[in-house]
Structure 1
Amino acid sequence: LQTAMKSGRESREAVEALYFTRRVWIAFIDDLRSPENQLPLNLRADLISIGIWVLKEAERIRTRQSDNFQGIADVITIIRDGLQ
């Protein structure tokens, strides 16, 4: 996402970053929805809500309604650091 920010939302890097981000978050949300997921239900629900925001924001960037790569990067960093 950092490279995509520098290259611009219409760059190949942006397209690849958004595609990768969508794939990861869709898989993450699917895992969070699974009954086998061991995280507390309220945490899972919160993470799913965040994931939906990430997916919507990525779509807004893709459709040139936003260029908020930094917002997505910040959220991903916070989630990553919080789950460690």
Structure 2
Amino acid sequence: MSLSAYQRARTLVETPRATEQRLIRDVTAALIEARDMGYSGGRLMNALHWNREMWDAFANACGAPGNSLPDELRASIISIGLWVNRHASDVMKGRESIDPLIEVNRSLLEGLAEGRMAA
């Protein structure tokens, strides 16, 4: 089966939660690679930017009218998204470690896997 056929088939059968989990795992893996390989400059920025894009998408979805998540959870996700943006900037400037970004993503994955976060 070709890669594009596989991706189409996966999209048809994958639940939204599974899609989110796969995205978070992939982004987190990119952050871990950036840390472990000692990336800097553009390579580090690519991983940080991808993480920011993911959290921006989550925050925007939580701020959208009709989002069915509980208000407290939506506010928390928006707040984490803002923190991710600030922290990523500090990582790029060499003032902070990338590890807290990895840990936040891992915590989110745990919550999704355990079903603690309503879909």
TM-score between the two structures when normalised by the length of structure 2 = 0.63
% identical aligned pairs: 31
Paired residues, number = 83
Q: Name the structure 2 match of 1:58.
A: 88
Unaligned segments of structure 2, at least 5 residues? 1-30, 114-119
1:14 aligns with 2:44: yes
Please state how far the C-alpha of 1:10 moved relative to its aligned partner. Answer: 1.3
Which runs of 4 or more aligned residues in structure 1 lie more than 6 Å from their structure 2 counterparts after TM superposition? none
Q: Which residue of 1 aligns with 2:34?
A: 4
Equivalent residues in 2 for 1:66-77, closer than 5 Å: 66=96, 68-77=97-106
Moved more, 52-61 or 7-16: 7-16
Name the larger-Rg structure. 2
The secondary structure found in structure 1 opposite 2:74 is helix
* Structure 1 alignment gaps of length 5 or more: none
Is the contact between residue 52 and residue 81 of structure 2 (CA under 8 Å) also seen in structure 1?
no
Q: Which amino acid aligns with 1:45?
A: A
